[in-house]
Structure 1
């Protein structure tokens, strides 16, 4: 697929942003084509299609990591369940069970880069990400000769893994007839992708700041941990992509003037919740990426942390109010600028507020303070439950670690970034984290030198 395509220049975070946008563009075209009611799709390392109508309409084959089975066992859920393969198409009690696709297992030597091939009566296209870090690129090919070669390789692999499924794919392709040229696809695809990227939420791209050797994370996670982190990245992507689509649709409705005020209010609430979850899973994705493939130092700039906190305070107040949690902030006057990355620090601060408040029951309070501390500014977040407020105590929430990135509250079951992942993300932004049992979360940012 990469033959004749110029070398890419994107890092992994920007390449995946291209991938998410490309999936949205492709799915919108498929959803708008009511004449193509039959087709096949082939994907790795997770199902790239997520629109229920398309999953019902087409037959699918997915090569997925073996570790995904472990996740199914842990969650008791069906991210990629084998029972979908044989589920009756007309199951009235569980309509989503009509989403049928065959699951195959990726081998250790297989690439983890995302790939999707879709063949319908009117549209045939292959999408993939390819290239080393810093040279990543999105590939989109629709030439019949090239797709024929790709299908030949897929069928050959399927014969090795499951000959019966290879015969099923061959028959499905035969029923669709010969491949046709989608010559005008590129003329529309790339402009639509550019428009989609312009409307998507900015990604949270965090890079490692200067670290002392003893603090630096290992250059590569290995074996089982690396597979776990790759899986977590894929899941974060699979959550964010449909949320971004929902938010786009919601915002198109919000531009209308003929909806009742109550409906507009509900739509705005949905938009806000989608944005919060997109940012939350964006941080989870970047925490996994930073753990798995730490990047080199990135420059830090003068950042007015006090002004940023005052700007964000009303947003956090409303966000926590919806959960029944109070918010109070104290920022000392005349705070000097710190060294950080303002464009990346803002979503991280939102992630800190979310991390410290997500497990709090209604009636709790979250306290934020910013004050001088020698050559640094001290940002402190303290959470108090109603019982702690009444008893005038500050006790830590019960937490249990789930791998290198996530932890969960054993009382409420709420997932959040682990202390280690939070620390590394903040270190990439110039901060140093301390967390004590009786004083919540404290971050020290270096004061910028006077110009």
Structure 2
């Protein structure tokens, strides 16, 4: 099948907004490596579809509430400003409140435009005879929904989407597919992403509805994408979570439509439990944990953290990255926004690493699924050392990294290795008092690369006195009450490096204090070069 030149909205959001980039291999992809083809994939895809549709329903409900804040809903129509925004959706309209329909220019794109009229919201006749009938309503107050056809075979017709342009905010929603081909719901408030979405839709309209393009261009120009206030994005996220349909209701709906979530041989109770666990959280990390022990208190805690911490941090990071692209902000403001963006990214990556490590700890079979490849440490250290030094300076510490003259390549996972080393250095620096020095020595040790972390001798005694109190949370996590920091315990951290192909050794020496050493296997070609 030939590929369309125009991208779908799912592709635009997945490629332009880092929030929706897939960080780990999807569970469905992992299953195909260890299970017969098709054994459980259809069930998992169905669960992902139910979850995505559930998020879409919550987002549409949240959007309707946000739009009601833009226009009054007491029945009064402002004749001077009849059009308060531009809404383009497909394949059906997404707003139904009479005041919203009357005040927004709403359009729908569908492969079957003749069928849309049956779905348009109807105005009920007034119960009181003294109230004016529909014929008495001003023309500007009548619904403005219009249906536009799509070219047959257009992949956009397979997506549910909504493009919203208002003076207060701009938003694009899409229920389609992620880059992995799995069902997914995505949204973005970023003006450049919204503009790209409009630029992908406009040629389609021009091709099939050239007589309407001037009117739509005027609306798109009048309500050009704008950067929203951060409270708008936060409010949308809260409303979306508050209006998510109940998981079991969605499951029954899927069953009524003949789309079974799991095989018929499984009991209804097991199917409901599996669906409820899959729908409790929308983060990609939680999907990877769905096969782990559901009764583990650590897993339950991490599920709560994914909802309460990662979601608002992702929203904040999306806003900061849109602000960093602006050219009208003073340098000091951009510098502080950059700090916020960096802090959010660090915490998002840290919790992502925690979930990955817990997955490896609770599912031993996942050790074999870790994609270990030839990894260039030159690039890893070039990207990481400035970040490590900045983290150390924020705690009034100094950090030096000593690298060998010829940096070999190792066998590992570059992304997770970077996050794991960063987490290890963060763990080490949190145990040092202000003014301490951290030395990171990278050297060859036979057919392995040795990365050793130790503090300066002058700070050894102070470090022993400064060691913070750590409390164990279950079998996987540690909690530091002084700072509120949550981290993996030592056993899980060692298991993580073992899954990366290496080994972590921690020793407490009288003169040097705590010393952490990581051994990573060298790639065979590197060994040959070094021997020469």
* 1:236/1:284 contact within 8 Å kept: no
- Alpha-carbon distance in 2 for matches of 1:344, 1:15: 28
Match of 1:190 among 152, 158, 174: 174
> How far off its partner does 1:348 sit?
2.1
Match of 2:335 among 265, 271, 289: 265
Alignment of 1:32-43 (within 5 A): 32-34=66-68
**Cα–Cα, structure 1 residues 359 and 375, in superposed 2: closer, same or farther, change >3 Å?**
same
Alignment of 1:108-127 (within 5 A): none
Q: Per the alignment, in what secondary structure is the counterpart of residue 7 of structure 1?
A: helix
* 1:229/1:292 contact within 8 Å kept: no
* 2:431/2:466 contact within 8 Å kept: no
- Alpha-carbon distance in 2 for matches of 1:420, 1:11: 36
Who is 1:130 aligned against?
none
* 1:236/1:285 contact within 8 Å kept: no
Provide, for residues 1-20 of structure 1, a one-character-per-residue CA deviation record: whole Å limited to 9, x for no partner. Answer: xxxxx9366799x9999799
- Alpha-carbon distance in 2 for matches of 1:275, 1:328: 23
Which structure: greater helix fraction? 2
> How far off its partner does 1:424 sit?
1.6
- Alpha-carbon distance in 1 for matches of 2:311, 2:189: 12
Q: Per the alignment, in what secondary structure is the counterpart of residue 368 of structure 2?
A: coil
Provide, for residues 345-398 of structure 1, a one-character-per-residue CA deviation record: whole Å limited to 9, x for no partner. Answer: 22222222222223444323322111111221111122469743779x899665
Q: Per the alignment, in what secondary structure is the counterpart of residue 334 of structure 1?
A: coil
Q: Find out whether 1:7 has 2:78 as its counterpart.
A: no
- Alpha-carbon distance in 2 for matches of 1:348, 1:195: 30
**Cα–Cα, structure 1 residues 296 and 314, in superposed 2: closer, same or farther, change >3 Å?**
closer
Farther off after superposition, 340-349 or 17-26? 17-26
- Alpha-carbon distance in 2 for matches of 1:246, 1:376: 41
TM-score by length of 1: 0.53
> How far off its partner does 1:239 sit?
0.6
Q: Per the alignment, in what secondary structure is the counterpart of residue 343 of structure 2?
A: helix
Who is 1:293 aligned against?
363
Farther off after superposition, 315-324 or 242-251? 315-324
**Cα–Cα, structure 1 residues 251 and 407, in superposed 2: closer, same or farther, change >3 Å?**
same
- Alpha-carbon distance in 2 for matches of 1:16, 1:364: 52
Unaligned runs of 5+ in 2: 1-40, 72-93, 99-146, 148-156, 163-172, 177-184, 194-282, 527-532
Alignment of 1:382-397 (within 5 A): 382-383=454-455, 387-388=459-460
> How far off its partner does 1:120 sit?
9.9
Match of 1:321 among 393, 414, 426: 393
- Alpha-carbon distance in 1 for matches of 2:458, 2:54: 42
Q: Per the alignment, in what secondary structure is the counterpart of residue 377 of structure 1?
A: strand
- Alpha-carbon distance in 2 for matches of 1:248, 1:446: 37
- Alpha-carbon distance in 1 for matches of 2:515, 2:53: 38
Q: What's the Cα RMSD here? A: 4.8
Who is 2:475 aligned against?
404
- Alpha-carbon distance in 1 for matches of 2:292, 2:285: 21
* 1:36/1:122 contact within 8 Å kept: no
> How far off its partner does 1:194 sit?
5.0
